[in-house]
Amino acid sequence: MENTAFNIEYKPRTGSEAMCEALLDEGVEYLFGYPGGAIMPFYDALPDYPLKHVLVRHEQAAAHAADGYARATGEVGVCVATSGPGATNIVTGLATAQMDSVPLVAITGQVGRPALGKDSFQETNVMGMTLPFTKHSFLVEDPDELYPTMRRAFEIARSGRPGPVLVDVPKDVQFAACNDNGYRRLREAPQPPAGPALEAAAALLKKAKRPLILAGHGVILSGAEKELRLLAERTGTPVVPTLLGISAFPDDHPLNIGWPGMHGAASVNRAIDKSDLLFAVGMRFDDRITGAVDKFAPNARIVHIDVDPSELGKVIRPTVGIAADAKLALRGILGHFEETEDVEGCAEWREEISRTQEPEKRTEEAARGEYGPIRIMDAIKAAAGEEVRLVTDVGQHQMWAAKFFEFTKHNSHISLGTMGFSLPAAMGVAFAYPDEPVWVVAGDGGFQMNIQELATIRDFGLNIKVAILNNGYLGMVRQWQQFFHNRRYSETPISGPRYEEMAAAYGLSGRTVREGDDVEATVKWAQEQPGCTILDFHIDPEANVFPMIPSGMSVNEMIEETGAAYGGA
């Protein structure tokens, strides 16, 4: 949207001023970055514009914070870095956003045009380096193209399947005089999907006896939660959110049967194996869900809806493939069903699934009062309430949070597959929603990867609470070594600081928690403290996540061990 908040007429005189105006005209409020020589002209212009810059302590954190902001708001996140090592440090964040379809614009400084291609100080081919990890990368060498290129970057980032876009700007272009040569919007309203495909998808759903709706991250990106819920309720179809689809459909809804895959619920994996229709919306059939593709859902027809046509048939060949925005597609399909709930639809199928869930529920309930991940997750939810947003990165803690934390608020689960993501991403979430509780659940390995951002959190007074599930290992790798490498724990034991003392060193609050301590009282204390609080939960070093699907096996070939996932210390 155009900037209307300030009665100032901006007439760009330099490239840096054009960049700032483009950010304002795109409605940007926050940008996360770290200055350096090649981006210095931009930082020189920045104080003259009503943009809020967050100084991180590492460029990777800038990308992750922008990512967290984008996931929480649905808007384009913005990060800034200088040339060379500054730019290379954001690559992990760009790849993360690309894999999870998160709209980002990354701005990097570059050596001046006369120095390009001469191995100049901190010169790196940022455009070439980032092409595999972005929707598009620009190197802007014409000052008059800077403003329209910046605007175009935002359009590309948010259109279709969202993703990151990089704009690399030589230092002399930032200094150069430039003209605003106009900008033509590229964005077009998404087109409704073809009627025959929608009719065919609806017909398959009507005929199915054992259907499942697989709800992916695309449901959240499209804002299709209402349509998903209506479709599930009108047809009585059980809903299976993917890991990134968690919080697209409330955990406490009776049709939500849990999430699938390598560490998902065994009952859900068995339901997929027995299903006769998988109605997949906004998901990519990741290998962590499918296991062995040739054995995946052998009796099921597939309806696959995704905004990216390249996803259709990439992993699983669909019976009906619909390349469309999830919201528009689901609206079209809903037109083929009555506007009343079908309480009888799939009743026998739901009852069968419910029976298979009983052993899991008994095991979980038996462990609920014990010291360990379930009790910790319950305590956080009780203390933080329904409005809490939970941020994790990757590992055992991620699986425990996804399995045992009850996500009832829309888009309240922020997670992905990159260690070190959770703390800086939570900063982005906290800036987006300063009045809502934000919790980080992290492992002791991943937390140390961007631990320096505690200084950023302190400086801005962010109300972020941190629960470290500290088992003294790189837990998920150790678990694989236990099962497949004869407990040869090669380079997985990991040490760390005394987090309570470290919190104090940063001017924050912290406590250490062990078996026998009052978990609920400690979490409540943390929730009530102003600012950031760190809780160091020492848990069983060999606690495992179950079930577990070994590589190359199907979703019906799981390692299970009753009760062993819920250990304390």
Indicate the SS3 state at residue 105: strand
List residues with catalytic annotation: 59, 121-122, 171, 476
Are 15-175 and 195-351 equal in CATH topology?
A: yes
**In whole angstroms, what is the distance from residue 462 CA to residue 450 CA?**
16
Res. 221: pLDDT tops 70: yes
Strand order in the sheet with 438-443: 413-414, 389-391, 438-443, 464-470, 533-538, 509-513
CATH architecture of 368-566: 3-Layer(aba) Sandwich (3.40)
CB–CB of 554/292 below 8 Å? yes
Q: What is the pLDDT of residues 457-487, one digit of tens each?
A: 999 999 999 999 999 999 999 999 999 999 9
Q: Which of 295, 222, 214 is nearest to 258 (CA)?
A: 214
- Burial environment of residue 185 by CB neighbours within 10 A (0 to 12, 13 to 18, 19 or more): exposed
The average confidence (pLDDT) of the chain is 92
Indicate the SS3 state at residue 305: strand
For 143, residues 6+ apart whose C-beta sits below 8 A from its C-beta are 15, 18, 173, 176, 177, 178
pLDDT at site 417: 87
CATH superfamily of 195-351: TPP-binding domain (3.40.50.1220)
Q: How far is CA 105 from CA 70, 163, 269, 411, in A?
A: 10, 9, 37, 21
Q: What is the pLDDT of residues 387-439, one digit of tens each?
A: 999 999 999 999 999 999 999 999 999 998 899 999 999 999 999 999 999 99
Q: How far is CA 371 from CA 337, 378, 386, 429, 544, in A?
A: 47, 11, 23, 29, 14
Domain borders along the chain are 15-175, 195-351, 368-566
Q: What is the pLDDT of residues 301-355, one digit of tens each?
A: 999 999 999 999 999 999 999 999 999 999 999 999 987 766 567 899 999 999 9
Q: What is the pLDDT of residues 147-165, one digit of tens each?
A: 999 999 999 999 999 999 9
CATH superfamily of 15-175: Thiamin diphosphate (ThDP)-binding fold, Pyr/PP domains (3.40.50.970)
Please state the pTM of the whole predicted model: 0.93
- Residue 137 forms beta bridges with which residues? 166
Q: DSSP assignment, residue 539? A: -
